[in-house]
Structure 1
Amino acid sequence: MIPEIKSIPSKKLVGLSLTMSYVENKTAELWQIFMPRRKEIANAISNDLYSLQVYSENYFSRFNPTVEFTKWALVEVTDFNQAPDGMQMFTLPEGQYAVFHYKGSSAKGAELMGYILQEWLPQSGYQLDNRPHFEVLGDKYKNNGDESEEEIWIPIR
């Protein structure tokens, strides 16, 4: 799997977050809370959803599946003037990303991340950057379906 290398400007996002670990994964809970409220975000740029993770600086160098991180369910917006009550604003900083186009079930997510971080990254000439990781879930995303498609954005420098 060969990624595209893309540089993006900062993005304004609105949504909800939960603190979790890979051992106590609350991803389903987060999306169950967010999806019924998604339509409240009046100034969304598209129908794409962002599943975003904020890790501590040394999270992957000393990986421990019990260490917590913050996971977000978000949509990109034109501005922060109309954020619904109880939702949070998040600014994704500009930067360079390796973008992997993935087709398949999210059940293979750990295997794919292992490949990206342990095989592709060390051979790529890039280093992991301390910025959010995220997935763009577009029209072809079918939650856990074998034909599901998504983009996996890994911050690099």
Structure 2
Amino acid sequence: MMPFRVEVIPNRYIAGMRTKTCMVHIMKDTQDIAKQFMPRRHEVNHRIGNHVFSIQNFGPDFSPANPHSEFEKWIGIEVSEIDALPKDIKSFVIPTGTYAVFDYKGSMKDFSAFRARIFQEWLPNSDYILDDRPHFEIVDENYRKDLNNTEESVWIPVQKKI
């Protein structure tokens, strides 16, 4: 079984930018939104840490079987307060809940296979089911998608099977 840890988090407040995307366009849309937000991240007050959140807010209408099903994609930073945000920067709250956390180290070309293993192998054989909350990754702010040795934490919302 894949190594993981379980964490229960309080509300986490994010300041960032969002776009609508689908699985077919997620790589390009994520790069586009990151290019807009990252140069402006220092304009945001009350920052916590030097990490960046890459968030998928799927919502009730998302269909994983349809690669064109749309969802919100966010790139942002964690903040202690959401007040007086700069123009075009919005707030998002990751609600309190339980997450299975997987640490990934490797190349970006292998990341989708790693993520697929979480849902196809780990989840069905675990004591958990998916919960309806945002999924996210946490990366260092100096993260570059073209590196062969990237590191990120993958946070999957879960709840115990009944």
Q: Are 1:50 and 2:47 matched, yes or no? A: no
Identity of counterpart residues, as a percentage?
37
**Residue number in structure 1 paired with 2:86:** 84
Query: Counting strand residues as a fraction of each chain, which structure ranks higher?
Result: 2
Q: Is the 8 Å Cα contact of residues 62 and 70 (structure 2) preserved in structure 1?
A: no
Query: How many equivalent residue pairs?
Result: 156
Partners of 1:126 and 1:58 in 2: how far apart? 22
**Residue number in structure 1 paired with 2:22:** 21
Q: How do 1:1-157 residues align onto structure 2 when only pairs under 5 Å count?
A: 1-25=2-26, 26-57=29-60, 59=62, 62-138=64-140, 141-157=143-159
SS for the counterpart of 1:23 is coil
Q: What amino acid maps onto 1:2 in structure 2?
A: P
Q: Is the 8 Å Cα contact of residues 4 and 100 (structure 1) preserved in structure 2?
A: yes
Q: Is the 8 Å Cα contact of residues 17 and 71 (structure 1) preserved in structure 2?
A: yes
Per-residue deviation, 1:65: 1.0
Q: Is the 8 Å Cα contact of residues 140 and 149 (structure 1) preserved in structure 2?
A: no
- Alpha-carbon displacement from aligned partner over 1:61-91 (angstroms, at most 9, x marks no partner): x421111111000101110123112111111
Per-residue deviation, 1:144: 3.1
Gaps (5+ residues) in structure 1?
none
The alignment yields a C-alpha RMSD, in angstroms, of: 1.6
Using structure 2 for the length normalisation, give the TM-score. Answer: 0.90
Partners of 1:52 and 1:3 in 2: how far apart? 19
Using structure 1 for the length normalisation, give the TM-score. Answer: 0.92
- Alpha-carbon displacement from aligned partner over 1:36-56 (angstroms, at most 9, x marks no partner): 111111211111000000113
Gaps (5+ residues) in structure 2?
none
